Amino acid sequence: MSEPLVIVGNGMAAARLVDELTKVALGRYAVAVIGDEPRLAYNRVLLSSVLAGETTSQDIELRPASWWRDRGVTLKYGCLATEIDVGRRELKIENDESIPFSKLVLTTGSSPLRLNMAGADLAGVHTFRDSRDVDLLLALAAQKRRVVVVGGGLLGLEAAYGLAKAGAPVTLVHLIDRLMERQLDAPAAALLKSIVERKGIEILLNANTARIHGETRVEDVELADGRLIPADAVIFAAGIRPNIALAKEAGIPVNRGIVVDDHLQTGASGIFAIGECAEHRGVCYGLVEPAYEQARLLARHLAGREASYAGSIVATNLKVSGVSVFSAGDFIGGEGSESIVLSDINRGTYKKLVIADGRLTGAVLIGDVTDALWYHELIRMQQPTARIRADMMFGRSLAMRSEAA
Amino acid sequence: MTIVAPDLRAVKTTCAYCGVGCGILATPDGRGGAAISGDPDHPANFGRLCSKGSALGETLGLSNRLLYPMIRCGEGKMERVAWSDALDHVAHRFQHIIARDGPDAVAFYLSGQLLTEDYYVANKLMKGFVGSANVDTNSRLCMASSVAGHRRAFGADTVPGCYEDLDEADLLVLVGSNAAWCHPVLYQRMLVNKQKRGARMVVIDPRRTDTVGDDDLFLGLKPGTDAALFSGLLVYLADSGVLDRDYIALHTTGVDDAIARARSMAGSVGATALATGLSEQDVATFFQMFANTPRVVTLYSQGVNQSAQGTDKVNAILNCHLATGRIGLPGASPFSLTGQPNAMGGREVGGLANQLAAHMGFTPPDIDRVRRFWKAPRIATHEGLKAVQMFEAIARGEIKALWVMGTNPAVSLPNADGVRDALKKLDLFVISENVISNDTVDAGAHVLLPALAWGEKSGTVTNSERRISRQRAFLPAPGEAKPDWWIMGEVARRLGFGAAFSFASVADIFREHAALSAFENEGARDFDIGALQSLSDSDFDAMAPVQWPIRQGADPQARFFAEGGFFSSDFKARFIAPEVPALRTETTPARPLRLNTGRIRDQWHTMTRTGESPRLGQHLPEPFVEVHPDDAARYGVADGDFARVTTDYGQCTLRVVVSARQQRGMLFAPIHWSEANATGARVGSLVAPVTDPFSGQPENKATPASIAPYEYVFRGFALSRRPIEFPAHAWVARVAIQGGYGYLFADNADLTGWQSWLQAIATDDLAEYKDFGGGVYRAACFDGDRIDSCLFIGPAHDAGDWNVVKDLFAADRLGGDQRRMLLSGKSADGLANAGPIVCACFGVGRNTIGEAISAGARSAADIGAKLKAGTNCGSCIPELKRLVAESALNSRQQPQLTAAN
């Protein structure tokens, strides 16, 4: 008899976990997936592509229904989990149904922050998280609504790009003096800004959103310096918050996220958490890569194999508003480090490698990301780089040729 | 469109460079350029050309041309003026100075690149009408010792042999001649003789040059000991019974004194070896070869001539040929190789301070004859000042007006810094030039007169075998440039000598020159082209290459002196007993080495022409000093690094080339670079101004010198579409490159300074690579898809590959990948190129995906299975799908396109 394993959340982490489980522990668990979004798991990373019209909502589905069926997964989507009864090892869902579990995995993800300010509850204030948001934003863009996106991080840029591409006039306001400050140094951010601006998006930096004006709907966004930006809609994209309510109410220890150990197990035995909702060694990851790594390790653990998660060395490696961006490690380069920089601004290229103690410790790349993974590997492996320093910037193949010579 | 206009046909002319005098076919392209090829009919080269001649087409641009007369105005700036004003000014100032200080206060300094007709007018004006013999020429630096040696031995400046002798000799002895680099077409001719007829070659030179083949006898003698070697040879010939007693008795005098003197300085093989630093075996081998080979040609060039004992060296060589009667016979002759296209023409008109005209000297009968012919009442009656002495007189303030034509004495003369300073003292400094800037122009010229350049001017030149060839124009005169003869004629007219200078054409001048050569000659003078004095204009235009003498009513004559007939009063040749060889200067502990100077294969003189050719810039792009490995170790200089070479006269900073081809105790540096194209590499500034007592030729090849390492932290190069100014602290050498201007440089200043420097000249489209910690800065700016300018600087091992970047610079358009790799300064050839990254998670590029699709992948899932692309975050799946779709579309369209074609 298979052990009942229940996964709460039907996102990318859940899909990957099922995939990994079928590879390492086929038949050991009877898997049920409970998700509140009313559709099959999809690739959330591609929502901005859907918004931008580069792909369809249909196309971003991770796996067809048959895939789930073939793996014997009980799939309940559009279904909210309401309570975990740790003692009775049951998960309560809508309509007072209960699902017993032997093992429970929380992949509840995160939610966008709604800034606490006057007017934040007006009609026309949205977030950008799931495919329902995308449908709303597409409608806005179709009507050529003036949109203000609050937040110049990855999410905000993606929303702004998608909206602009879909036809809406977009202004992006960002509190900090540069875009994506957690991933980019100043020149990289400046280059990204100029490229994004060329796509027709107005960007205001050092712009602190003070309040939103409007009778019933959004009319203007007011900045702390008094500037008024006329707007029909506002998208908050100023950060995310792990979804921890379910765990917290069940008495499972939480901090910012649901606290897990190196086996991805929460404070409650047999209950695990992975993905954006989890907090491991004090870190909540907001990217898909660590979630996948966690899914792989948890699957091995659940299969009874030796598996321990030591955290992820995160790299940002994606397309932002159609621009390839890579960032990893100490990309600023502080005291005691040196930087090598290649810039070809008109070609949309900026590359910086940070070296400390003869090792690559950080990198930021805009435009040309050909060798991003190699840099990432060099950073992770902490290999001495003195011999390839002269050619490292121009890629692995040149550096290897010179080293061989 | 490659239609050639019917009038753009090949013009037969003669090369602009060395004294071989190769015939050239120039086919103008109608856009200011021309296709250049060798003239198969010309007897000097039969269609062959060397690297320099072949590249003449790359030197026809007008970028650095002087196009209008210019005069230094009140504020010291050069300003364009009308020809009439410039000529009035020159004539007026000359007139004033002559009236005030006498005719010897003025001088002309001419060039072996002037045409014979230009030379003739200059010589006639100065000697005949101004009344001074202060007419000298850069040929003084080139073959004056040969002239003096010829005159001492033969009674005239006669080259006895001809080029066919090189084909017919069994032994070719090259003395102080790097013919492989400096007279390449003749050298090739000699190689053919070696291959076809088995001729042997002996190369006598302190340096093992490229002229030395594997199977040749190389005699790397001590500098300045050539006369000892040939004296030893004379003794050996005498002792071996090889002397031609009949010839000696019938046609020569002085053999006993000469042999006695030779015996005293090199009386045996052993003594010769001791005097020259050669091994006895090598000396003996050479002596035997010479003694046993009747068909022997001894060729000599700067290594013999550019010496304070140059004339003695020449005579020591001539003695051996006279003593064996091996002169003027097929395959047997001494042979002076001249360095310039018309050094011989200059000698023919007498454009040297110690000759009067047409191979006549300053003897009373000659003076009288020329006076009558020219109708020149004020004719000069004594020798003028030879080049080195002329500039010393300028420095002393004795010569107050100087007119330089077509040469660059601030670079080429010994003690060139002193020359440059002297030029600044002149009351009047006139230059007729092609270029708007060179070291001499920049030394403070008062008047610049634009002269026609090669390809524009028309007249005659004479090569090393006495062959007169036409140089013909195949390009229009640019700007307001004029022939030199016209410029001088106009000044002469303004000085009141119009009647004597009423030449309407270059043919007019040639006819007068020919007439003077024959005037009261009757066989008394070697130079006689009287048969040409009545050529019609059209005959002159069509004149085929012809060897002199061409006496009226006499048969042509290819060689001299086989039957005697020397041009002395007794018709006999003179054996000259040379002095014991001794260099004029001595090394000291402070100047322990000797600096030899010379040429490189692909440059000529001060590079004002060859320096414009990208092809020629590739061979040896930087000024350098060659050092023997032992000396390099001793003085702490290393190959590829920099060194300072210092003499009592100046200092240069040069790249070091360590080579065992160099003799211990000697340095070698090429003469070509100047302030106009390099920093501190004007080797003329190092050379001692000591001269031969007979020829006045300076000893350019043995100045005591020291060498010390000089460190530059950074090396680099810059390429630009326009000339660029470098900061004064940098060492720079300019190199012509395809599509623009190249600069190789070295420096010790901060990299940030170079970044600001580049940014100041850059376009808006700038790419930069900065590794300041690693000492590297590279940047390129673009004009559309092509490089506009770029700068590469770094430590010596990481300055970037100039050749790779040069090739990219030459391209009109840089592809994306080329631009991506440009600042690596390395070739990207053969590197795997994945293309722009599509799958960020697995680093899979578009090219790789394209290959997978070509290999059969039909969906994103297929690609994922094969390359993993799209199997992690999946964000690239839409792009993967698009690539598959595009590829399907292309393959469907392909047959249609083919069908449409």
- pLDDT tens string B534-571: 999 999 999 999 999 999 988 878 999 999 999 999 99
Say yes or no: B776 contacts chain A, CB-CB below 8 A.
yes
Q: Please tell me the predicted confidence (pLDDT) of residue B877.
A: 79
Count of helices and strands (H, E) across chain A? 11, 25
Window A:281-320, CB contacts with B under 8 Å: 288-289, 292, 317-319
Structural domain contains residue B829: no
Q: Please tell me the predicted confidence (pLDDT) of residue B3.
A: 42
Structural domain contains residue B562: no
Q: Please tell me the predicted confidence (pLDDT) of residue B893.
A: 58
Q: Is the pLDDT of residue A402 over 80?
A: no
Lowest mean pLDDT among A228-232, B431-435, B866-870: B866-870
Chain A residue numbers with beta carbons less than 8 Å from the beta carbon of B793 are none
Say yes or no: A391 contacts chain B, CB-CB below 8 A.
yes
Q: Which class would CATH give A3-111+240-302?
A: alpha beta
Q: Three-state DSSP class for A233?
A: strand
Say yes or no: A19 contacts chain B, CB-CB below 8 A.
no
Q: Is the pLDDT of residue B667 over 50?
A: yes
Residue B573 CA to residue B579 CA, distance in Å, equals 19
Say yes or no: A61 contacts chain B, CB-CB below 8 A.
no
Quote the pTM value.
0.88
Q: Please tell me the predicted confidence (pLDDT) of residue B889.
A: 77
What the block records as the tokens of A65 is 């229904």
**Using an 8 Å Cβ cutoff, are B380 and B390 in contact?**
no
Interface test with A, best of B752, B758, B759, B771 (most A CBs within 10 A): B771
Read off the pLDDT of residues B573-599 as tens digits, 9 standing for 90 and up: 999 999 998 899 999 999 999 999 999
Q: Is the pLDDT of residue B234 over 70?
A: yes
Instruction: Give span(s): CATH 3.30.390.30, chain A.
Output: 322-404
Arithmetic mean of pLDDT, A107-119: 91
Chain A residue numbers with beta carbons less than 8 Å from the beta carbon of B769 are 340-342, 393
**What percentage of chain A exceeds 70 in pLDDT?**
100
- Number of other residues whose CB lies within 10 A of the CB of residue B149: 31
Residues B420 and B348 in one domain: yes
**φ, ψ for residue B309 (rounded to 5)?**
-120, 30
Chain B residue numbers with beta carbons less than 8 Å from the beta carbon of A54 are 878
Residue B673 CA to residue B858 CA, distance in Å, equals 64
Compute chain B's Rg from CA coordinates: 31
DSSP state of A331: -
Arithmetic mean of pLDDT, B686-699: 96
Chain B residue numbers with beta carbons less than 8 Å from the beta carbon of A401 are 830-831
Place of tokens 């600096």: B595
Q: Select from A297, A304, A266 the least CA-distant residue to A20.
A: A297
Say yes or no: B782 contacts chain A, CB-CB below 8 A.
yes
Arithmetic mean of pLDDT, B238-255: 96
| Contact between chains at B877 and A372 (C-beta distance less than 8 A) | no
Q: How many angstroms separate the CA of residue A300 from the nearest CA in chain B?
A: 18
Q: Please tell me the predicted confidence (pLDDT) of residue A1.
A: 64
Interface test with A, best of B769, B786, B821 (most A CBs within 10 A): B769
**What percentage of chain A exceeds 90 in pLDDT?**
76
| Contact between chains at B840 and A397 (C-beta distance less than 8 A) | no
Arithmetic mean of pLDDT, A294-320: 91
| Contact between chains at B768 and A292 (C-beta distance less than 8 A) | no
**What percentage of chain B exceeds 70 in pLDDT?**
98
Arithmetic mean of pLDDT, B246-259: 97
DSSP state of B495: I
Give chain B's mean pLDDT: 93
Which of B669, B703, B737 marks a domain boundary?
A: B703
Instruction: Give span(s): CATH 3.50.50.60, chain A.
Output: 3-111+240-302, 125-236
Q: Which residue of B has its CA nearest to A338?
A: B773
Q: Is the pLDDT of residue A183 over 50?
A: yes
Residue A342 CA to residue A350 CA, distance in Å, equals 6
Q: Select from B193, B141, B160, B143 the least CA-distant residue to B300.
A: B143
Residues B742 and B812 in one domain: yes
Residues B371 and B456 in one domain: yes
Read off the pLDDT of residues B860-888 as tens digits, 9 standing for 90 and up: 889 988 998 888 777 787 788 888 888 88
Q: Please tell me the predicted confidence (pLDDT) of residue A317.
A: 84
Q: Please tell me the predicted confidence (pLDDT) of residue A54.
A: 85
Q: Please tell me the predicted confidence (pLDDT) of residue B1.
A: 36
Residue B887 parent element (H or E): helix B877-900
Q: What is the ipTM of this complex?
A: 0.87
Q: Is the pLDDT of residue A13 over 90?
A: yes
Q: Please tell me the predicted confidence (pLDDT) of residue B63.
A: 86
**Using an 8 Å Cβ cutoff, are A202 and A173 in contact?**
no
Residue B218 CA to residue B206 CA, distance in Å, equals 10
Q: Is the pLDDT of residue B896 over 60?
A: no
CATH of the domain at B653: 2.40.40.20
If one compares B849 and B283, the residue with the highest pLDDT of the two is B283
Q: Which residues of B435-461 are buried (b: 16+ CB within 10 A; e: fewer)?
A: bbbbbbbebbbbbbbbbbbbbbbbbbb
Which of B822, B853, B877 marks a domain boundary?
A: B822
Q: Select from B335, B204, B333, B312 the least CA-distant residue to B258.
A: B312
Nearest to B875 among A45, A371, A402 (CB): A45
Q: How many angstroms separate the CA of residue B873 from the nearest CA in chain A?
A: 7
Q: How many angstroms separate the CA of residue B813 from the nearest CA in chain A?
A: 15
Q: Is the pLDDT of residue B901 over 90?
A: no
Arithmetic mean of pLDDT, B84-94: 97
Query: Is residue B488 exposed (0-12), middle (13-18) or buried (19+ Cβ within 10 Å)?
Result: buried
User: Where in B290-425 does DSSP place strands (E)?
Assistant: 296-300, 333-336, 401-405
Read off the pLDDT of residues B134-173 as tens digits, 9 standing for 90 and up: 999 999 999 999 999 999 999 999 999 999 999 999 999 9
Q: Alpha helix locations (H) across B375-423?
A: 387-395, 409-412, 416-423
Q: Which residue of B has its CA nearest to A373?
A: B843
Q: Is the pLDDT of residue A229 over 80?
A: yes
Say yes or no: A390 contacts chain B, CB-CB below 8 A.
yes
* Residue B674: domain span: 593-703
Say yes or no: B768 contacts chain A, CB-CB below 8 A.
yes
Residues B756 and B815 in one domain: yes
Chain A residue numbers with beta carbons less than 8 Å from the beta carbon of B824 are 391, 393-394, 398
Q: Please tell me the predicted confidence (pLDDT) of residue B619.
A: 86
Q: How far is CA B828 from CA A397, B596, B808, in A?
A: 9, 41, 11
Q: Is the pLDDT of residue B898 over 50?
A: no
Domain count, chain B: 6
Structural domain contains residue B582: no
Arithmetic mean of pLDDT, B345-357: 94
Q: Please tell me the predicted confidence (pLDDT) of residue B899.
A: 37
Q: Please tell me the predicted confidence (pLDDT) of residue B383.
A: 96
Q: Which CATH superfamily is domain A322-404 in?
A: FAD/NAD-linked reductase, C-terminal dimerisation domain (3.30.390.30)
Chain B residue numbers with beta carbons less than 8 Å from the beta carbon of A393 are 769, 771, 824
Q: Select from A353, A348, A305, A395 the least CA-distant residue to A20.
A: A305
| Contact between chains at B875 and A55 (C-beta distance less than 8 A) | no
Q: Please tell me the predicted confidence (pLDDT) of residue B467.
A: 96
Nearest to A390 among B767, B798, B831 (CB): B798
Which of B504, B538, B570 marks a domain boundary?
A: B504
Chain A residue numbers with beta carbons less than 8 Å from the beta carbon of B828 are 398
Arithmetic mean of pLDDT, A27-34: 94
Structural domain contains residue B641: yes
Read off the pLDDT of residues B264-283 as tens digits, 9 standing for 90 and up: 999 999 999 999 999 999 99
Q: Please tell me the predicted confidence (pLDDT) of residue B7.
A: 57
Q: Please tell me the predicted confidence (pLDDT) of residue A103.
A: 97
| Contact between chains at A326 and B840 (C-beta distance less than 8 A) | yes
Arithmetic mean of pLDDT, B500-508: 96
Nearest to A43 among B776, B824, B874 (CB): B874
**What percentage of chain B exceeds 90 in pLDDT?**
84
Structural domain contains residue B479: no
Q: What dotted CATH number matches A125-236?
A: 3.50.50.60
Chain B residue numbers with beta carbons less than 8 Å from the beta carbon of A398 are 821, 824, 826, 828, 831
